[in-house]
């Protein structure tokens, strides 16, 4: 095995994946959301850097080719698990998350069954877009948690009449309730739209992978 910088970055991304969940075990919110968001963004950046450096420095290895998709899937699966687990379990969130998780598990099992043949099924540009949309959606949804809990901290101790008066402009908004609420709503909406787009691309690329794999699944192959 060759341990070069691109491979080390990939390994760091892989180890950062469970760290996203650990943040919610040892920190209270919104600090857990902040730490998870920053860790996820840093890990996502390595996804671009390790591939770019491997190509630029001609350091592409079998180890990197093996670890890279595993790290991507681990990041997405664990982050989605955390987001859904700490959400209200809205079907608008659970359904696209389920599609993404199902596809990742299905394709991973298919690749394992195909063995060496799986290496001949190249990653398409659409699959790369799929990963980009997944990671962007997850980052935006983590930011929604940040806005939501800062809003909750700001309204702590207020009654509904006071909150309504501030949001309606009848009382001075000293704590920034309006922009926190707006940030929470827009991050939630944008995150869901991005997640649904990611789920659509995920389903399409999964079907494409299955179609390409079918000739290798015939009896006698």
What is the per-residue pLDDT across 166-213, written as a single tens digit (0 to 9) for each?
Answer: 888 888 888 888 998 999 999 999 999 999 999 999 999 989 888 888
Domain range summary for the chain, segments of one domain joined by +: 5-211
Specify the pLDDT at position 86: 84
What is the per-residue pLDDT across 17-42, written as a single tens digit (0 to 9) for each?
Answer: 888 888 888 888 888 889 888 888 88
187 phi, psi to nearest 5 deg: -65, -40
Q: Which two tokens stand for residue 221?
A: 């192959």
What is the per-residue pLDDT across 70-121, written as a single tens digit (0 to 9) for each?
Answer: 888 888 999 999 999 888 788 999 999 999 999 988 888 888 777 766 666 6
Confidence of residue 1 (pLDDT cuts 50, 70, 90): low
What is the per-residue pLDDT across 122-147, written as a single tens digit (0 to 9) for each?
Answer: 667 888 888 889 989 999 999 998 89
Specify the pLDDT at position 11: 85
Class of domain 5-211: mainly alpha
Specify the pLDDT at position 201: 94
DSSP string, the chain: ----HHHHHHHHHHHHHHHHHHHHHHS-TTHHHHHHHHHHHHHHHHHHHHHHHHHHTT---HHHHHHHHHHHHHHHHHHHHHHHHTS---HHHHHHHHHHHHHHHHHHHHHHHHGGGGGGSPPPHHHHHHHHHHHHHHHHHHHHHHHHHHHHHHHTT--HHHHHHHHTTSS--TT-HHHHHHHHHHHHHHHHHHHHHHHHHHHHHHHHHHHHHHHHHSTT-
Specify the pLDDT at position 121: 65
| pLDDT at 221 exceeding the cut of 60 | no
Prediction pTM value: 0.84
Q: Measure the CA–CA gap between 34 and 125, rounded to whole angstroms.
A: 31
Contact indicator for 163, 155 with CB cutoff of 8 Å: yes
Instruction: List the Cα angle 98/101/105 in 5-degree steps.
Output: 135
Three-state secondary structure readout of 110-171? HHHHHHHHHHHCCCCHHHHHHHHHHHHHHHHHHHHHHHHHHHHHHHCCCCHHHHHHHHCCCC
Specify the pLDDT at position 98: 95
What is the per-residue pLDDT across 41-52, written as a single tens digit (0 to 9) for each?
Answer: 888 888 777 777
Closest CA to 104 of 65, 77, 133: 77
Instruction: List the Cα angle 215/123/197 in 5-degree steps.
Output: 105
Confidence of residue 2 (pLDDT cuts 50, 70, 90): low
Q: Measure the CA–CA gap between 114 and 157, rounded to whole angstroms.
A: 59
């Amino acid at each position: 095995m060759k341990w070069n910088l691109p491979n080390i970055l990939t390994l760091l991304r892989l180890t950062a994946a469970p760290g996203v969940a650990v943040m919610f075990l040892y920190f209270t919110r919104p600090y857990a959301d902040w730490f998870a968001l920053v860790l996820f963004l840093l890990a996502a950046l390595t996804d671009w850097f390790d591939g770019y450096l491997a190509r630029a420095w001609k350091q592409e290895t079998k180890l990197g080719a093996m670890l890279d998709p595993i790290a991507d899937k681990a990041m997405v699966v664990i982050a989605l698990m955390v987001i859904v687990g700490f959400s209200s379990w809205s079907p608008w969130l659970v359904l696209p998350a389920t599609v993404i998780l199902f596809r990742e598990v299905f394709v991973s099992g298919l690749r394992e069954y195909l063995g060496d043949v799986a290496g001949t099924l190249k990653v398409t540009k659409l699959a790369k877009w799929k990963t980009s949309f997944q990671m962007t959606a997850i980052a935006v949804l983590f930011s929604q948690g940040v806005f939501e809990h800062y809003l909750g901290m700001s309204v702590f101790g207020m009654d509904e009449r006071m909150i309504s008066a501030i949001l309606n402009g009848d009382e001075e908004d000293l704590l920034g309730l309006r922009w926190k609420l707006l940030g929470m709503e827009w991050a939630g909406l944008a995150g869901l739209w991005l997640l649904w787009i990611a789920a659509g691309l995920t389903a399409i690329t999964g079907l494409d992978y299955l179609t390409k794999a079918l000739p290798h699944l015939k009896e006698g192959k």
